């Protein structure tokens, strides 16, 4: 790390507004980036479930299209890289290369209809940017 770089944060220090429940239709997802870490939340049965957007198979984001996380049946979360399927309610992988693993949940805080990413929870490791790493090797 050069002297201009700040050490990476390991905790969320403040609540971050995510959305109102009424902003989302049933099974609609929303994405947010905090400290360069991506997360998503999805509404199901008037509950909001949030996970860090990192597939346990290879540690890369699940989706290729913004806010598109569902399988063709619209029942499970699906990783677009190798097709792993996850329960919305608990993040458990029920099909694909990482069966039994889980998405890492994000703790939410509710205030009426408003939902926040709760402060004082750990940030996951930053995603590896393979392209940036490769370009650095040419410097
Ligand atoms: S990276 Fe998600 S299934 Fe392979």
pLDDT in tens, 42-78: 999 999 999 999 999 999 999 999 999 999 999 999 9
Pocket probe for ligand 1: among 69, 79, 94, 101, the residue whose CB has the most ligand atoms within 8 Å is 79
Ligand 1 center to 118 CA (angstroms): 27
pTM here?
A: 0.89
Ligand 1 center to 81 CA (angstroms): 5
Kindly state whether residue 129 falls inside one of the protein's structural domains.
Answer: no
Kindly state whether residue 99 falls inside one of the protein's structural domains.
Answer: yes
Q: Give the chain's length.
A: 139
Kindly state whether residue 59 falls inside one of the protein's structural domains.
Answer: yes
The residue range of the domain holding 109 is: 16-121
């Amino acid at each position: 790390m050069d002297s201009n770089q700040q050490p990476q944060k390991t905790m969320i220090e403040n609540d971050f507004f995510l959305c109102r429940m009424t902003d989302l239709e049933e099974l609609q997802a929303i994405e947010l980036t905090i400290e360069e870490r991506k997360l998503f939340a999805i509404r199901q049965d008037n509950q909001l479930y949030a996970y860090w957007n990192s597939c346990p198979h290879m540690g890369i984001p699940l989706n290729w299209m913004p806010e598109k996380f569902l399988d063709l049946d619209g029942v499970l979360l699906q990783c677009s890289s190798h097709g792993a399927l996850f329960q919305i309610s608990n993040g458990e992988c029920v099909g694909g290369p990482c069966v039994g693993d889980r998405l890492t949940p994000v703790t939410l805080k509710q205030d009426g209809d408003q939902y926040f990413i709760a402060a004082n929870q750990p940030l996951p490791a930053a995603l590896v940017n393979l392209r940036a790493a490769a370009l650095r090797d040419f410097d």
